[in-house]
Amino acid sequence: MEVSSPIPKKHARIEIIPLIDIMFFLLASFMMVSLSQTTMKGMKVALPVGASGKTQSKKDYVSLSVDKDGFYYFDKSRIALEEILPKLQQVYKTNPEAKIFIRGDREAVHGNVTRMLDQIRSSGFNKISFEIKSQATSGVPGAAH
């Protein structure tokens, strides 16, 4: 004779739906963290569009910007033209291999960009790049090369 227990017997089940929720949460978290790690040192200017743009690594770099009103910026801080050379000479003493990225507004006066380029060359830097917006990313806001 078999005696049954008054307590109902339950079988173990693995629920997948909570695991899927956790995975989506982790995926979204990692995406947000990776997007926030992208930093832009230069001022936001309307970059000109060019077909020959090529992405470069931006390790150990200095960003110099000229806006359409003729104001100069060292990274994101506004600076006078006469102060660019001493600042760059100070950077050159600590890191002579640093790259210089020039961000010129598409409506900036050519003479302002040329004066800034003269200051950069006088400081001793040889690795100078102009930032442009490539044609492939011209429809994407904030995409610069």
Is the per-residue pLDDT at 100 higher than 70?
A: yes
Return the pLDDT at 143: 45
pLDDT bin (cut points 50, 70, 90) of residue 110 is confident
Domains recognised in the chain with CATH numbers? 49-137 (3.30.420.270)
Tell me what percent of the residues of the chain surpass a pLDDT of 90. 18
Q: Are 38 and 58 in contact (CB under 8 A)?
A: no
Is the per-residue pLDDT at 8 higher than 70?
A: yes
**pLDDT tens digits for range 42-52:** 667 766 666 65
Tell me what percent of the residues of the chain surpass a pLDDT of 70. 74
Return the pLDDT at 15: 83
Beta carbons within 10 angstroms of residue 58's beta carbon: 16
Beta-carbon contacts of residue 131 (< 8 Å; ≥ 6 apart) = 42, 47, 63, 101, 102, 103, 144, 145
* Mean pLDDT across 77-89: 91
* Mean pLDDT across 80-104: 89
Return the pLDDT at 27: 94
Average pLDDT over the chain, rounded to an integer: 80
- Give the residue ranges of DSSP H helices in the chain: 17-36, 81-94, 110-123
58-62 long-range contacts, CB within 8 A, separation 24+: 58/99, 58/101, 60/95, 60/97, 60/98, 60/99, 61/98, 61/99, 61/100, 61/101, 62/88, 62/91, 62/98, 62/99, 62/100, 62/101
Collapse the DSSP code of 101 into the 3-class scheme (helix H, G, I; strand E, B; otherwise coil) and give the result. Answer: strand
Beta carbons within 10 angstroms of residue 120's beta carbon: 18
**pLDDT tens digits for range 53-65:** 555 555 678 888 9
Residue among 72, 140, 69, 135 at smallest CA distance from 108: 69
Is the per-residue pLDDT at 39 higher than 70?
A: no
Residue tagged 């200051």 (tokens): 119
* Mean pLDDT across 75-82: 89
